[in-house]
Chains A and B, each alone.
Chain A
Amino acid sequence: MDTASTRKFVGQILHVEDDDDDAELTTIGLAQAAVPLRVHRVKDGIECLAFLKHEGDFAGSPRPDIILLDLNLPRMDGREVLDAITQDPTLCKLPVVVFTTSAAERDVSWSYQRRCSSYVVKPVGFEDFQKALRVVTDFWFDVATLPVAND
C-alpha cells in the first residue's frame, strides 16, 4: 500500500480560515503531525477557489492533498466553496474536512450532503483542539489513501 509514510512526502494542506488567531493555532496544531506538512492559508472562499484553479496570485499553487474548510467566511463562505468544489469535475475528488465553530444540525447535514469527507467542530478547549488536529492529520496522512492527481 502506497501511503504517505512510504514515500518522501510532504503533505499539502489548504487551510481556508478568516480568523488569524485560529489560523495560527491551527498551523501549530498541524505541526504535530507525524509526516512533514506544508500549510497554505487563504482567507475566504474566493481566494480558496483561485488557489485550487491556480489563478491570479495563486498561479503556481500546488494541488492540495486535503482542504481544511471553515464555513463562516467573508466574501464567499465555506458553503458556497463546498458547492463549487462538488460541482467541478477537476476538483470534486479533493477531500474536504469541514473545520468550523458551527455545531448546527443544519450545517452538518448540508455539508455531508455535499459530500464533504468529514465535519469537525472546532473544540473549545485548547488541548482538545490540538488533539483533534493530530487525529485529522494522522488519519489522512497515515491511515487513509489519498486520491492521485490527474491534472
Chain B
Amino acid sequence: MGIRDLLDPAVDLAAIIDVVPNAIVMVDREGRIVLVNSQAESLFGYARNELLGEPVEMLVPFALRGAHPHHRAAFERSPKSRPMGAGRDLYGLRKDGSAIPLEIGLSPIRTESGIYFVSAIVDLTERKRLEARFRATVESAPTAMVMIDQAGTIVLANAELTALFGYTRDELLGRKIEILVPNRFRHAHPGLRTQYFGERVARRMGEGRDLFGIRKDGTEFPVEIGLNPIGTDEGMFVLGAIVDLTERTHQAQALRAANEALEHSNIELQRFAYVASHDLQSPMRTIAGFVELLGSRYGEQLDAQARDWIQRAVHATKHLQAMVRDLLEYSRVDANPRPFVRVALDEVFDETVAMLRAAIDESRATVVREGNLPVVEGDRSQLAQLLLNLVGNAIKYHGEEPPRVSMSGGKVDGEWRFAVADNGIGIDPRSHEKIFEIFRRLHTKEYPGTGIGLAAARRIVQCHGGRIWVESAPGRGSTFYFTLKSDPEGGQLGHGIHA
C-alpha cells in the first residue's frame, strides 16, 4: 500500500514535502539538483531557482568538493538508505560562504525516468554549539573530569585529569578507565561500572569506602569521586568528577596529631597540677609545723629578733600554701572543660553569699542581688568560683565604711552583662588592666590575698566567650563588669572555649 493510498486524495503530497522540517535535496544520476524544499532553501540561503539544475557540489565546502563526486559514485554502486558519511563530520556551504555542520540521510528512489537520490539534511549547528559548550565547560573545570561509555572506555578527559594522573590526553582516550584504578581494586571495578549503569543516579562513588587512584608513575593517592549519568542519543555515558584528597587527608592527619599532642599536653599539665597540690603540700606542712613548734616551744628562750624571724617564716609558708592551692584552682579552669548546662545564677549567687558568711559578718557587709539574675549556659562550678572571687574582693577591699556590694545582670546588645559594684577603696585607672594579671597585687601589705582571684575570673569569663573589665577610681568604689555569651534561640549546649 503506497503512501498515496494512506492519504485523503485532497492532500497534496508535494505540499507535505515542501514543509517537512528537514531540508530535502534530490539529485539525479549526474548530481544535478532536481528538487529542494523550503527548509533546504533557508538552510543554504538560496532561492530554489538558484539551485535547480545546478551540481549539488555547489552546496559542498570547497575543501570537500573534490571528493564528493566519488562519494556519489560509490553510493550509486550500492544504493541503499543509510546515513551519509559514517564516522565523518559533514559540512554544507551556504550562499553567504559560511560552512554549517550537517547530518545527512540518503535514500535512492527509482522512477520511470531513472534513479534519483534523496537526501534529508539536518542542521547540526545548534547541537554542535551545545556540544562545544559542554566540552569547554568540562575542559575548563577546576576538577578532574573523565567520561566513559558503557564499555568503560574513556571518551573524554579534561586537562585537570591529565595533570592529576600524569598522562597525556592521547594516552587516556580510547583506554579503559581501569588504568586509573589501583591493581587491587581493578578486578572488581567493571562489575561496579555495570551496576552503576543500571542505577543511573547522580551520586558519590564508594560511600563508606576509601577510594584510590593510581598515576602513570605508579603512585597512589586517595580520591573522592562523584558520578553523573549522561544520556545521549549515542547511548549512556558516565561523567566522573575526581577530587584529590591527599591534601585533605594530610590536614586531617595533622589535625588528629595536633589534637593528640594537645591531649597529652593536657594530661601532663593535670599531672603537674596534681603533683603541685599533693606532693608539695606535705613538705610545706612539715616546714610550717616545725617552724611553728620552734616558735611556740622555744620562743621564750629566743630573743625578739629570732621570734620575729620565726613569725615571718610561718607567715610565708602559709602564704605559699595558699598560692599553691590557688594556682591549682586556676590551672583547673580550662584543664577539662565540662559540657555547658543551664545554670541559675540566682542560686549560685545565694550560695556564694552563704560561703562568704564569715567575711560578711566580720566586716558587717551588706551583699544584695538587684532583681533576678538570668539562667545562663555554662560550667556551674566555674561560675560559682567567678562570683566568689568578685564578691569576695568587693567585701575584702573596703575602706572605712562597711562594704556594700550589689550584683545585677541583664541582656545588653545580645549578650548577658553583669555588674558587681562595691563602695570600697577603688582602683587607680592606671592599674585597671594590671589587676587581671596572675599574682599581680596592688595592696600586698594591707589586704590578704594571693593575686589569683581576678586572673582566674578572667580565665573563666573567657572560657564562657565573654570579657571582663572594671570601672573605678581611688576612693570611689569599683564596679566589675563581665559578659557571658548568650545562646541563640533554641541553641545547643556547647563546650567551653579555650582562651
Q: Which positions in A face B, CB cutoff 8 Å?
A: 19, 21-22, 25, 28, 101, 122-126, 129
The reply to whether A125 and B293 form a contact with Cβ atoms under 8 Å apart is no
| A32 vs B456: C-alpha distance when bound (angstroms) | 40
Find the residue from A19, A123, A125 having the highest chain B CB count within 10 A. A125
User: Is A101 a contact of B278 with CB atoms below 8 Å?
Assistant: yes
Q: How far is the CB of B241 from chain A (nearest CB, A)?
A: 56
Q: Which residue of B lies closest to A20 (CB)?
A: B286
Answer yes or no: B285 CB below 8 A from chain A CBs: yes
Residues of B within 8 A of A126 (CB): 285, 288-289, 292
Contact A124 B290 (CB under 8 A): no
* B265-319 interface (Cβ within 8 A of A): 278, 281-286, 288-290, 292-293, 318
Question: Which A residues are CB-close (under 8 A) to B292?
Answer: 126
Closest A-chain residue to B280, C-beta based? A124
Once the chains bind, are A124 and B286 in contact (CB under 8 Å)? no
**List of A residues within 8 angstroms of B321 by Cβ:** 124-125
Contacts of B293 in A (CB 8 A): 25, 28
User: Are B282 and A25 within 8 A (Cβ)?
Assistant: no
Q: Are A124 and B281 in contact (CB under 8 A)?
A: yes
Docked complex Cα distance between A125 and B284 (Å): 9
Nearest chain A residue, comparing its CB with the CB of B284: A124
Chain A residues in 8 Å Cβ range of B325:
124
- Give bound CA distance, A21 to B292, whole Å: 14
**Complex Cα spacing A123 to B318, Å:** 13
Q: Specify the main secondary structure of chain B where it touches its partner.
A: helix
**Bound-complex Cα distance A59 to B278 (A):** 37
Residues of B within 8 A of A (CB): 278, 281-286, 288-290, 292-293, 318, 321, 325
State A28–B285 Cα separation when bound (angstroms): 14
Q: A residues within 8 A CB of B290?
A: 21, 25
Q: From the candidates B282, B284, B288, name the one contacting A22 in the complex (CB within 8 A).
A: B282
Which chain B positions have C-beta within 8 A of A21? 282-283, 286, 289-290
Identify B288's interface contact among A19, A28, A122, A125, CB under 8 A: A125
Q: Are A19 and B285 in contact (CB under 8 A)?
A: no
**What CA separation (Å) do A48 and B479 show in the bound complex?**
59
CB-CB nearest in chain B for A19: B282
A124 CA / B292 CA spacing, docked (Å): 14
A22 to B286, CA, bound (A): 7
Question: Which A residues touch B282, using CB under 8 A?
Answer: 19, 21-22, 101, 122
Q: How far is the CA of A124 from the CA of B277 in the complex (A)?
A: 10
Q: Which of A22, A25, A125, A126 has the most CB of B within 10 A?
A: A126
Q: Bound state CA distance, A101 and B275, in angstroms?
A: 12
Q: How far is the CA of A22 from the CA of B283 in the complex (A)?
A: 9
Which of B278, B284, B286 makes the CB contact (< 8 A) with A25? B286
The smallest C-beta distance from A25 to any residue of chain B, in angstroms, reads: 5
Whole-angstrom CA separation of A61 from B286 in the bound complex: 29
How many angstroms between the C-alpha atoms of A28 and B283 in the bound complex? 17
Alpha-carbon distance A123/B339, docked complex (angstroms) = 32
Closest chain A residue to B282, Cβ basis: A101
Measured CB to CB, the nearest residue on chain A to B314 is: A126
B289 CB to closest chain A CB (Å) equals: 4
* B278 proximity list for chain A (CB < 8 A): 101
Q: Which residue from chain A places its CB closest to the CB of B325 in the assembled complex?
A: A124
Who on chain A is nearest to B292 by CB? A126
Q: In the complex, what distance in Å separates the CA atom of A129 from the CA atom of B284?
A: 12
B433 to A: closest C-beta gap in Å: 33
Contact B281 A25 (CB under 8 A): no
Which residues in A have their C-beta under 8 angstroms from that of B288? Answer: 125-126
A129 to B317, CA, bound (A): 15
- Hey, which chain A residues are within 8 Å of B285, CB to CB? 22, 25, 122-126, 129
Given contacts A22-B282, A122-B282, 8 further A-B contacts (CB under 8 A): A21-B289, A25-B293, A28-B293, A124-B281, A124-B325, A125-B288, A126-B285, A129-B289
In angstroms, how far is the closest chain B Cβ from the Cβ of A130? 8
Q: How far does the Cβ of B329 sit from chain A's closest Cβ, in whole Å?
A: 14
28 contacts between A and B (CB under 8 A): A19-B282, A21-B286, A21-B290, A22-B285, A22-B286, A25-B285, A25-B286, A25-B289, A25-B290, A25-B293, A28-B289, A28-B293, A101-B278, A101-B281, A101-B282, A122-B282, A122-B285, A123-B285, A124-B281, A124-B284, A124-B285, A124-B321, A124-B325, A125-B321, A126-B288, A126-B289, A126-B292, A129-B285
Query: How far apart sit A48 and B119, CA to CA, in the bound complex (Å)?
Result: 117
For the complex, give the distance between the alpha carbons of A125 and B290 in Å: 12
Residue of B nearest to A102 (CB): B278
Give the residues in chain B near A101, CB-CB below 8 Å. Answer: 278, 281-282
Interface centre among B278, B283, B289, B293 (most CB of A within 10 A): B289
- CA separation between A19 and B293, bound complex, in Å? 18
